Amino acid sequence: GDSVTQTEGLVTLTEGLPVMLNCTYQTIYSNPFLFWYVQHLNESPRLLLKSFTDNKRTEHQGFHATLHKSSSSFHLQKSSAQLSDSALYYCALSMNYNQGKLIFGQGTKLSIKP
Amino acid sequence: DAAVTQKPRYLIKMKGQEAEMKCIPEKGHTAVFWYQQKQSKELKFLIYFQNQQPLDQIDMVKERFSAVCPSSSLCSLGIRTCEAEDSALYLCSSICPGTDNNQAPLFGEGTRLSVL
């Protein structure tokens, strides 16, 4: 079945260093939608990025990701981490025929230290 | 501002009691989804409504939950007999299905259920 894999459960970085959170997916569907949601403590998930176009960089709030269908990846990156970036990050997958049903990865907790 | 509203924010039940939580989707959104999140872990899909009809749900929901969307502006998720394992954050999301590829599911604040 369809699935999303986030290999890192916890990423701890010093403020100012670059961020990269891994996300790979599996689906038989050729046109998936990929998302990154961010969830701060005691809040609901909030959309950070979305993409369905192969090899096109998507950016928002300093974060960026590129969907690579050849490697089934949608890694999240940021050039310089900020303390306020500390949160849970979820990669998710959906299909064009039902964009609302999200299949989530296990989530990566990003902890930024001063 | 766009918003999905969930009530109550917190719910405490004893084992064996019934629980009910509500979701008001964003205005105009006809697709509603429920997810379960335990201890800040993975979000698990539970059930999906389109135009108030349940179109997809996992076995656990069929067996132990009750979910309805009596109107386009209100949905509810119930647990018939709460068990300790049901303690979780229940999140509702909504979207207006269509050809707009720029939209994404919008989440409510969630109902945090604690079963004692």
Cα dihedral sign, B69-B70-B76-B81: negative
Q: Is A24 exposed, middle or buried (0-12, 13-18, 19+ CB in 10 A)?
A: middle
How confident is the model over A82-109, as pLDDT tens digits?
A: 999 999 999 999 987 777 899 999 999 9
Q: Which chain A residues are within 8 Å of B108, Cβ to Cβ?
A: 44
**Do the beta carbons of residue B84 and residue B115 sit within 8 Å?**
yes
Q: Which of A98, A103, A106 to mutate to test the interface with B (most CBs of B within 10 A)?
A: A98
Cα dihedral sign, A26-A31-A32-A35: positive
pLDDT of residue B100: 66
Tell me the C-alpha distance between B110 and B36, whole Å.
9
How confident is the model over B44-97, as pLDDT tens digits?
A: 999 999 888 999 999 988 889 999 998 878 999 999 999 999 999 999 999 987
Of A35, A44, A88, the CB nearest to B104: A35
Among the listed residues A44, A1, A87, A113, the one whose alpha carbon sits nearest the alpha carbon of residue B6: A44
Cβ–Cβ below 8 Å for A35 and B103 = no
Cβ neighbours around B44 below 10 Å, total: 16
Tell me the C-alpha distance between B97 and B53, whole Å.
14
pLDDT of residue B1: 57
Cβ–Cβ below 8 Å for B31 and A100 = yes
How confident is the model over A15-71, as pLDDT tens digits?
A: 999 999 999 999 988 889 999 999 999 899 999 999 999 999 999 999 999 999 999
Tell me the C-alpha distance between B112 and B81, whole Å.
16
Dig out the tokens for B60 from the structure. 């656990």
Tell me the C-alpha distance between B108 and B5, whole Å.
5
Across the range B36-40, mean pLDDT stands at: 90
A32 CB near a chain B CB, below 8 Å? no
pLDDT of residue B81: 95
Question: Could you give the 3-state DSSP secondary structure of residue B86?
Answer: helix
**Do the beta carbons of residue B82 and residue B15 sit within 8 Å?**
yes
Dig out the tokens for B86 from the structure. 């049901």
